[in-house]
Amino acid sequence: MLKITNLKVELEEESKEILKGINLEIESGSVHAIMGPNGSGKSTLSYVLSGKKGYKVTNGEVELAGEPILELEPEERAASGLFLAFQYPVEIPGVGNMTFLRTAMNSQRKFRGEAELSAADFLKLVREKAKELKIDAEMLKRPVNVGFSGGEKKRNEILQMALLEPKMCVLDETDSGLDVDAMKLVADGVNALRDKGRSFLVITHYQRLLDHIKPDFVHIMADGRIIKSGGPELALQVENNGYSDLLAEVQ
Amino acid sequence: MSLSQKLSDDLNQRILPLTLPKNNNKKRCEALKRIKAMGLPSRRDEYWKYTNPRLFNDLFSNKNHVLGSDDKLNFDSIGCFKLIFNDGVFDQSSSDSLEGEELELTQISDFSGDTAKWLEAFYGSLEEAGQHPINRPLAKLNTAFATDGLAIRVTGEITKPINIVYNETSNRSDVNLHHCIKLEAGSSLTLIESGSVSTRLNKVTELEVAQDSSFHHVCAQTNNLDKIVSTHLFARLWENSVLKSFTLTTNGALTRNEHVVELKGNNGVSHLAAACIGEGRFHHDDTVFVTHEGTDCESRQVFKKVLKKGAFGIFQGKILVKPGAQKTDGYQISQSLLLDDDSQFLAKPELEIYADDVVCSHGSTSGAIDEEGLFYLRARGVPEDTAKDLLILAFLAEALAEIEDTNISELLLTYLERSL
Ligand SMILES: Nc1ncnc2c1ncn2[C@@H]1O[C@H](COP(=O)(O)OP(=O)(O)OP(=O)(O)O)[C@@H](O)[C@H]1O
Ligand SMILES: [Mg+2]
């Protein structure tokens, strides 16, 4: 589904290398987790995947379902099935959440040559998905993320994911800021979307989320590289011992 | 040649092709005398520093202008009484009848001592009051030479909005239009003005809102590129009265909208708001002066400008709180969204407060499209242009929210969505 080959990325403004040769292949239907110390480049990877400005790819290739995506605009990547749940969802004053969701859905459908959703069908769909995530109707009426609590913002990300039904979902610390119940809700939301045609890349600091969303593979990222890959047991090892053993191992 | 000689020559040249109408003649003669003493606006004037008045001062040139009447913004779906103007002249036969409504309607040009007695004292009086402490020569010029306009005296609640529709059929029109509106105690009216009046327009509206009355005003200046527009709203508000005025401007070469509001009674409410979008040779100036005299009054000014391709925006806004105007609640915000580096916005907010128990705040910002917001929208599949439009409309939303009737604000929003 997603194939990253020797990806090297610098900041555009200063020539500082953040990603130093990432290799990662995510099969269709699988869940991969990335853990790693603060500042190791996890969010940078997610931004580069989704096409944010400000980064320069100096080497490597990224393919989504066999197609190279690094030349595509962010909206084209999204319409091709890539979704990033932001570590810090952006507040957009003045744009209603409903307008935002409808515009996003219909833009993607249009891009793929599908018919736009009618207002009634859209409303029905949103209400249904919002209910599953315990997002109340009031929140949908407010401007995008404005005045949302940290946890509400994260749930709003998952709502968007549920509506857009992407093929490749990148979740950047979606668990941070969530209380125990909300974490369960979000995990249920993710699990409900697990499907053989859909893959996940879950960035997290905590084993706890991975209790709910069982990963097939766990990767440890440090200083712009994936230094170790393994099964779910790797996450437990991090939880118990931190990163120092792993870092020492590489050195 | 001395400066004063030059100014007086400019004025004489400017008024040479104009004739002083017969109606309201006494007021007009006074106005003529005053404008001769004051002269045309010049860049030396404090409030004309950022806007060159040349296009208002010059003899009207009718070359190469394009008519501006084919935009699709109409308010028919709101259900209004329509009053039609063609090239700045009232067309009574095409207009809806207001029979049965609690109001008197006359034309300024029809005025003679017998009809609309109130108008004799009213005409020019609020405009004159608005000349202190700052001269507003274009308004004075208008009072002297205005050829047409409506005089509306409202005595009760008008059941539907009145929509003044301006049609433009001639591309050589230079119009001085003057409306007088008086709301008697306990009355209410919603007035919508739409359409493009003329190639060059000088419009003055004098408005008095008596005790317990409310006046809602929406003015849609949807122009095309050539328009030269000066408008003045002189409003006087008495106890418990409400004024809400919103102006939308799209394009035009030069627009200067002045709002001069006096809150005379206690508990008055004055909300002024405007949204404009313009590009290229677009110069848009909002000049506002709100005077608080009564106690417990609330005034709000929300002015938003979207500027692109070298467009220029000005906001000059003054709140004057006179001694004794206690418990004044004043809020002012002026903001611009600059879509490129060539566009410019200048804001000059002023507060002058002589009462001690007041809350007044003002703020002004100028910024580009929020890149984080733009990326967020695009990352959800919204194409860049659509995402920008959404952010532009979001920027204007606070001004549109000042319109009381949400049917009207939604209609304007739909229009803006279409025209972006
Ligand atoms: N735009 C930028 N300007 C300057 N430095 C940047 C920028 N973007 C990323 N960096 C730097 O790149 C490194 C990686 O940052 P990134 O946000 O990807 O880390 P992370 O692994 O997501 O960390 P965390 O776990 O704290 O979220 C950090 O040292 C960060 O300071
Ligand atoms: Mg991060």
pLDDT in tens, B101-149: 999 999 998 777 677 789 989 999 999 999 999 999 999 999 999 999 9
Whether the CB of A117 is below 8 Å from some CB of chain B: the reply is no
- The C-alpha atoms of residue B307 and residue B304 are separated, in whole angstroms, by 10
Contact A238, A246 (CB under 8 A): yes
What mean pLDDT is predicted for residues B58-86? 79
Write down which residue in B265, B294, B316 finishes a domain: B265
A104-162 tens-digit pLDDT: 999 999 998 999 999 999 999 999 999 888 888 888 889 999 999 888 899 999 999 99
- The C-alpha atoms of residue A139 and residue B316 are separated, in whole angstroms, by 37
What mean pLDDT is predicted for residues B225-236? 93
Q: State the DSSP string of A140-157.
A: HHSEETTT--HHHHHHHH
Phi, psi (rounded to 5 degrees) for B90: -65, 130
**Nearest partner of B182 among B248, B133, B116, B137, judged by Cα:** B116
Q: Which of A94, A108, A143 sits opposite B381 (nearest CB)?
A: A108
Whether B311 is in a domain gets the answer no
- Flag if A94 and B379 touch (Cβ within 8 Å): no
User: Taking every pair of C-alpha atoms in chain A, what is the biggest distance, in angstroms?
Assistant: 59
- The C-alpha atoms of residue B21 and residue B23 are separated, in whole angstroms, by 6
Bridge-partner residues for B371, per DSSP? none
Q: Which residue has the tokens 């003529």?
A: B32
**Nearest CA of chain A to the CA of B236: how many Å?**
33
Whether B40 is in a domain gets the answer yes
Q: Which of B381, B384, B395 sits opposite A104 (nearest CB)?
A: B381
What mean pLDDT is predicted for residues B406-418? 93
Whole-number Å distance, alpha carbon A221 to ligand 1 midpoint, is 13
Whether B342 is in a domain gets the answer no
* Encoded tokens for B26: 């006494």
Whole-number Å distance, alpha carbon A86 to ligand 1 midpoint, is 14
Pair B392, B248 in one domain: no
Pair B15, B145 in one domain: yes
Distances (CA, A) of A131 to A140, A162, B95, B396: 11, 12, 52, 32
- Flag if A100 and B380 touch (Cβ within 8 Å): yes
- The C-alpha atoms of residue A87 and residue B382 are separated, in whole angstroms, by 20
Cis peptide leading into residue B133 (ω within 30°): yes
Pair B195, B64 in one domain: yes
Task: Tell me what the pLDDT averaged over chain B comes to.
Answer: 93
User: A175, exposed or middle or buried, with CB in 10 Å at 0-12, 13-18, 19+?
Assistant: buried
**Nearest CA of chain B to the CA of A76: how many Å?**
7
- Flag if A107 and B376 touch (Cβ within 8 Å): no
Contacts of B53 (CB under 8 A, 6+ apart): B40, B41, B42, B43, B138
- The C-alpha atoms of residue B404 and residue B179 are separated, in whole angstroms, by 22
Whether B61 is in a domain gets the answer yes
Contact B191, B216 (CB under 8 A): yes
Domain that holds residue A206: 2-250
User: B89, exposed or middle or buried, with CB in 10 Å at 0-12, 13-18, 19+?
Assistant: middle
Contact A201, A173 (CB under 8 A): no
Q: Which of A75, A94, A144 sits opposite B378 (nearest CB)?
A: A75
Indicate which of A46, A47, A100 best probes the interface with B, i.e. most B CBs within 10 Å of its own CB.
A100
Position B226 scores a pLDDT of 82
Whether B321 is in a domain gets the answer no
Q: What percent of chain A has pLDDT over 90?
A: 74
Q: What percent of chain B has pLDDT over 70?
A: 96
Contact A65, A167 (CB under 8 A): yes
Position B63 scores a pLDDT of 62
Residue having the nearest C-alpha atom to atom 6 of ligand 1: A11
Pair B240, B374 in one domain: no
Q: Which of A84, A91, A99 sits opposite B379 (nearest CB)?
A: A84
Distances (CA, A) of B163 to A155, B78, B270, B351: 46, 10, 21, 35
Write down which residue in B265, B288, B310 finishes a domain: B265
Whole-number Å distance, alpha carbon A188 to ligand 1 midpoint, is 29
- Flag if B384 and A51 touch (Cβ within 8 Å): no
Position B365 scores a pLDDT of 96
- Flag if B390 and A100 touch (Cβ within 8 Å): yes
Q: Catalogue the E-assigned strands of B88-199.
A: 89-91, 103-107, 150-154, 162-167, 174-183, 188-195
Best mutation site among A16, A42, A219 for ligand 1, i.e. most ligand atoms within 8 A of its Cβ? A42
Q: Are strands B254-263 and B283-292 parallel, antiparallel or unpaired?
A: parallel
Give the residue from chain A lying closest to B399, CA to CA. Answer: A94
Contact B215, B233 (CB under 8 A): no
Domain that holds residue B87: 3-265
Amino acid present at B305: K
- What is the torsional sign of CA B375, B377, B383, B384? negative
Amino acid present at B329: D
Collect all residues of chain A within an 8 Å Cβ-Cβ radius of residue B383.
73, 75, 107, 111
- The C-alpha atoms of residue B302 and residue B399 are separated, in whole angstroms, by 6
* Encoded tokens for A162: 């549920």
**Nearest CA of chain B to the CA of A74: how many Å?**
5
For B206, the enclosing helix (H) or strand (E) is strand B200-209
- Flag if B380 and A111 touch (Cβ within 8 Å): no
Residue B70 has pLDDT above 70, yes or no: no
Position A109 scores a pLDDT of 93
Pair B215, B78 in one domain: yes
Count A/B contacts: CB-CB distance under 8 Å. 81
Q: How many domains does chain A contain in total?
A: 1
Residues of B with CB under 8 A from a CB of A: 370-373, 375-384, 386-387, 390-391, 393-398
Taking chain A, what is the end-to-end CA distance rounded to the nearest angstrom?
Answer: 32
Position B2 scores a pLDDT of 74
Whether B108 is in a domain gets the answer yes
Cis peptide leading into residue B53 (ω within 30°): no
Give, as one character, the DSSP assignment of residue A114: P
Give, as one character, the DSSP assignment of residue A91: P
Give the residue from chain B lying closest to A143, CA to CA. Answer: B394
Position B69 scores a pLDDT of 47
A134-151 in b/e form (b: 16+ CB < 10 A) is ebeeebbebbbbeebeeb
| Neighbour order of strands in the sheet with A2-11 | A17-26, A2-11, A55-64, A67-68
Bridge-partner residues for A96, per DSSP? A143
Distances (CA, A) of B197 to B20, B149, B258, B308: 21, 12, 17, 25
Collect all residues of chain A within an 8 Å Cβ-Cβ radius of residue B386.
103, 107
Three-state DSSP state, B286: strand
B17-64 tens-digit pLDDT: 899 998 888 899 999 999 999 999 999 999 999 999 999 999 887 665
What mean pLDDT is predicted for residues B156-182? 93
Residue B66 has pLDDT above 70, yes or no: no
**Nearest partner of B119 among B182, B175, B176, judged by Cα:** B182
Residue B67 has pLDDT above 60, yes or no: no
Collect all residues of chain A within an 8 Å Cβ-Cβ radius of residue B394.
92-95, 143
For A159, the enclosing helix (H) or strand (E) is helix A150-164
- The C-alpha atoms of residue B349 and residue B333 are separated, in whole angstroms, by 9
* Encoded tokens for B109: 């040009």
**What are the average pLDDT values for consecutive 10-residue runs of chain A, which has 251 residues?**
96 93 95 95 97 96 96 96 95 93 94 92 93 85 91 91 95 90 88 91 92 93 94 90 83 70
Contacts of B287 (CB under 8 A, 6+ apart): B47, B256, B257, B258, B259, B314, B315, B316, B317
Residue having the nearest C-alpha atom to atom 13 of ligand 1: A39
**Nearest partner of A58 among A72, A68, A50, A48, judged by Cα:** A48
Q: Taking the model in full, what pTM does it have?
A: 0.91
Q: How many CA atoms lie within 13 A of A227 on its CB side?
A: 20
Whether B169 is in a domain gets the answer yes
Runs of H (alpha helix) within B207-305: none
- The C-alpha atoms of residue B304 and residue B141 are separated, in whole angstroms, by 29
- The C-alpha atoms of residue B408 and residue B48 are separated, in whole angstroms, by 33
Write down which residue in B244, B265, B286 finishes a domain: B265
**Nearest CA of chain A to the CA of B271: how many Å?**
20
Could you tell me which residue, B245 or B169, shows the higher pLDDT? B245
Pair B249, B396 in one domain: no
Q: How many domains does chain B contain in total?
A: 2
Q: What is the CATH number of the domain that holds A145?
A: 3.40.50.300
Three-state DSSP state, B313: strand
- Flag if A90 and B372 touch (Cβ within 8 Å): yes
Q: Are strands A199-203 and A31-35 parallel, antiparallel or unpaired?
A: parallel
Whether B129 is in a domain gets the answer yes
